[in-house]
Amino acid sequence: MENKKINIAIVDDHPIVIEGLKIMLNSQPFFHVSESFTSGSEIVSFIRSNEVDIILLDIALPDANGTELCREIKKISPETSVIMFSNRSERSIIMQSIQNGASGYLLKNTSINELVVCIKGALSGNIVFCNETKQIISKPSSNDLPIPRLTKREKQILQMVAQGKTSAVIAEELFLSPLTVDTHRKNLLQKFQAKNSTELINLAVQMHLMEE
């Protein structure tokens, strides 16, 4: 790394973002932004006949989805490290990018110092994340859990629990015994792997099971 400048390409559909990155990265001793592109087709065409060490790749491009484009880039040029550089902070997008071959995922509010460290880390073969991305992926997600199969009665009771109704009230309205309602509630907690009713409802909402 000491004897050779790191060749970087930027892919982003906002010219002002590209210009800002160019200024910051070219000010670093061993970095050189050789090319920049505003579309996926341009970078794909370029890497077919040119070597690039690092590609900073946005998710939202006018002609491509960045996560899918990453997979295509890695097929064409496996030795190129692709770092996603985006405003999108959804955990599912971050994990999908890594599965598609990305060497890291940075948010656009990343500092220049953090960006430099991550680029060097990716060149060393590491998977890199900015601090905010690390926090996002460290949190458990409802997407990591399978959506449980609920009976018609369980769905009914789940809705009523979300409305704040007690087991006694639910039992009266559904013409069930309180013991039966409590059994259903315990089964719901078990199916959702939830510790209490609040967590149960939060998970159900995230899984879109509370929508009419």
Q: 49-97: per-residue pLDDT in tens?
A: 999 999 999 999 999 999 999 999 999 999 999 999 999 998 888 888 9
Q: What is the pLDDT of residues 133-186, one digit of tens each?
A: 988 877 755 555 678 889 999 999 998 988 888 999 999 999 999 999 999 999
DSSP class of residue 142?
Answer: G
For 166: left if phi > 0, alpha if psi spans -120 to 50, otherwise beta; the answer is beta
Rounded Cα gap, residues 161 and 86, in angstroms: 39
9 pLDDT band, cuts 50/70/90, is very high
Q: Global pTM? A: 0.67
Q: Where do we find the tokens 């007690």? A: 166
Contacts of the segment 70-74: beta carbons below 8 A, 24+ positions apart: 70/97, 70/100, 70/101, 70/102, 71/100, 71/101, 72/44, 73/43, 73/44, 73/47, 73/101, 74/100, 74/101
18 pLDDT band, cuts 50/70/90, is very high
Residue at 103: amino acid letter: S
